[in-house]
Structure 1
Amino acid sequence: MSARFVDKTATACMWFAGMIILGILATFLIYMLYKGLPVLTWDFITGMPSDIKAGGGVGPQLFNSFYILFLSMLFSIPVAVGAGIYLAEYAGNDRLTDMIRLSTESLATVPSIVLGLFGMIIFVNMFGMGFSIIGGSLTLMLLNLPVLVRVTEESIRTVPSYYREASLALGATKWQTIWRVVLPNALPGIITGITLTAGRALGETAILIFTAGTTVSRFFPNFSWGAAGETLAVHMWYVMAVGLVPDRLTIADGIGALLIITILIFNLAFTLPSKYIQRKLTGSSR
């Protein structure tokens, strides 16, 4: 059997596997959008939900989804980027570093429902926050941290060492080198990690059921951190599990389509600037 034949066979298998994954994704997206797009009217997207009557909207849930996401990333990004910088630039190969990496990897493997129960015990009960936006955001931060730390560390490690050496040779301090040379070059990778983490957090349910609750404020929009914080994903679970509205299937279809469109727009809004920054930094025209 010739090497050329083996190469072509392996290439064909890889293409076939890729097309299967692409086909599954396309089938899922087309079906969800086909069922949900007719539901997405302005009244549905911005209206108040209804517990009993048909025709309710998801305006507060949409607002809560982005508000909780914003707060969780606001809490997560400084800690994660700081930890990633420490692990990549300052930490040596000692027990403390090994313990930090082990803790990060262990936190990444914890099921989200366990994090939700932990958040309910600590933030909802012990700290007396109740089912609130702030409780959900702090718990969601625990889901975001492991991925952001690892992505930040790996992005910083991919920056060539001669960038650091050139900066230090010009008289810059270590922190000036990190802030003005390393981080700008690692920024595209960090933005990609933030995008993936945000997309995952936007569709999270188990954590927020136990911490942010399954109700919304009577006022919309409500920026209070102590307000109830049901999100789109949680509302979909709620109407299908215990909801009494007669059009719950229609609501679920609409929420599914709205989540897909929202996540796609969100990813594009972060991916395109990341590509632009990467081209500017590398001088590439592609």
Structure 2
Amino acid sequence: MSDFSRTRRTSWAIRRDKLATCGFYGLGALVMLLIFWLLFTILSKGLPGLDFSFLIRQPEEIDAGGGIGPVLFNSFYILLISLVISVPIGLGAGIYMAEYAPDNAFTGAMRICVEALSSVPSIVFGLLGLAIFAEYFGLGLTILGGGVSLALLNLPMLARVTEEAVRAVPKELREAGYALGLTKFYCILKIVLPVALPSIITGICLVAGRAFGESAVIILTAGLSTSGEMWDFNLVSPGETLAVHLWYVQSEAIVEDARQIADKSAAVLVIVVLLINLAFRLPLWWVKRGAGR
């Protein structure tokens, strides 16, 4: 190959690299603009009329001026129940699949099943929760049924994210721990999990945001009403959440200010999801900043 041909090919490769780089930057900017446009559209409609009293008032069925107090509390309560159940089980399942499970056909089939469950529509888990809690145990539509059903919905995704995060930890770190005389459990606890923690936190953020904004599961397992109390910790009370209330107000409510309530509820829902992600990520950011000093 002549020097001219080699130079021509090199210049063409450089141009393709620049074109690809510009294309990826353009796609990233387009996605960011779309996200900011959606956030601006939702928040600009809901934030101007939002005040603290709206967050603590009872919803109204007929009169104007209702709030979202009980449904907002139920949203956090059901989210807490689902995370308390799903996080330990999901982390344990992911660690087992990555570190302890033998590499055979049964384990491969198990992974396929977990991946399939991750893509199952949420309404299927709602029907499962309805069959178990409302029909088999006869509890009706309750906060407990909603929380457990959400935990079942989030378990497959959390287990897969944890497994992939643990598998991504370099083997050299494990071998260094074993060379120092660490046991397998202690090596996982002190070396593997701290390295995989950012990815695991990302998975928890995803399932927490999904659980907080879920509506299909809650409609079938927790219902479309509340007990009427602001702070109701009774697990067998009906548990309408903010996402369900938003759907109900937008589609079924007869109050004259239903549109304004829906806009403000949507703004609160978006803000809370953003705050959930921020609450999980701030400690990691703080630890990284301290480690970099």
TM-score in terms of structure 2 length: 0.92
Cα distance, 1:169 vs. partner? 2.4
Task: Find out whether 1:146 has 2:163 as its counterpart.
Answer: no
Cα distance, 1:188 vs. partner? 1.9
Task: Show the 5 A alignment for 1:1-286.
Answer: 2-278=12-288, 283-285=291-293
* Counterpart amino acid of residue 19 in structure 2: T
* Counterpart amino acid of residue 63 in structure 1: F
Question: In structure 2, how many angstroms separate the alpha carbons of the residues matched to 1:108 and 1:10?
Answer: 33
Cα distance, 1:106 vs. partner? 1.1
Count of paired positions? 283
Cα distance, 1:39 vs. partner? 2.4
SS at match of 1:39: coil
Question: In structure 2, how many angstroms separate the alpha carbons of the residues matched to 1:86 and 1:279?
Answer: 31
Work out whether residues 85 and 152 of structure 1, in 8 Å CA contact, stay in contact via their aligned partners in 2. yes
Cα distance, 1:265 vs. partner? 1.2
Percent of pairs identical after alignment? 48
Question: In structure 2, how many angstroms separate the alpha carbons of the residues matched to 1:67 and 1:152?
Answer: 24
For residue 3 of structure 2, what is the aligned residue in structure 1?
Answer: none
Cα distance, 1:129 vs. partner? 2.3
Gap change, CA 1:181 and 1:230, over 3 Å in 2: same
* Counterpart amino acid of residue 136 in structure 2: M
Question: In structure 1, how many angstroms separate the alpha carbons of the residues matched to 2:219 and 2:55?
Answer: 21
What value does the CA root-mean-square deviation take over the aligned residues? 1.5
Deviates more, 1:241-250 or 1:154-163: 154-163
Cα distance, 1:72 vs. partner? 0.2
Question: In structure 2, how many angstroms separate the alpha carbons of the residues matched to 1:52 and 1:142?
Answer: 36
Work out whether residues 191 and 270 of structure 1, in 8 Å CA contact, stay in contact via their aligned partners in 2. yes
* Counterpart amino acid of residue 25 in structure 2: W
Cα distance, 1:278 vs. partner? 4.5
Work out whether residues 75 and 138 of structure 1, in 8 Å CA contact, stay in contact via their aligned partners in 2. yes
Question: In structure 2, how many angstroms separate the alpha carbons of the residues matched to 1:154 and 1:90?
Answer: 14
Please give the per-residue CA displacement for 1:244-269, whole angstroms capped at 9, x wherever unaligned.
Answer: 21111001000111011111111111
Cα distance, 1:69 vs. partner? 0.6
Deviates more, 1:89-98 or 1:200-209: 89-98
Cα distance, 1:185 vs. partner? 2.1
Work out whether residues 83 and 208 of structure 2, in 8 Å CA contact, stay in contact via their aligned partners in 1. yes
Deviates more, 1:73-82 or 1:95-104: 95-104
For residue 4 of structure 2, what is the aligned residue in structure 1?
Answer: none
SS at match of 1:192: helix
SS at match of 2:234: coil
- Mark the runs of 5 or more structure 1 residues left unpaired by the alignment: none
Work out whether residues 86 and 151 of structure 2, in 8 Å CA contact, stay in contact via their aligned partners in 1. yes
Question: In structure 2, how many angstroms separate the alpha carbons of the residues matched to 1:52 and 1:136?
Answer: 27
Question: In structure 2, how many angstroms separate the alpha carbons of the residues matched to 1:274 and 1:153?
Answer: 20
Please give the per-residue CA displacement for 1:25-82, whole angstroms capped at 9, x wherever unaligned.
Answer: 1111111111000221111111111111110000111111111011001000111111
Cα distance, 1:279 vs. partner? 5.2
* Counterpart amino acid of residue 49 in structure 2: V
Question: In structure 2, how many angstroms separate the alpha carbons of the residues matched to 1:136 and 1:103?
Answer: 23
TM-score in terms of structure 1 length: 0.94
Q: Which has the larger radius of gyration?
A: 2
Cα distance, 1:166 vs. partner? 2.3
Cα distance, 1:167 vs. partner? 2.1
Deviates more, 1:210-219 or 1:184-193: 184-193
Cα distance, 1:205 vs. partner? 0.6
Question: In structure 1, how many angstroms separate the alpha carbons of the residues matched to 2:287 and 2:134?
Answer: 40
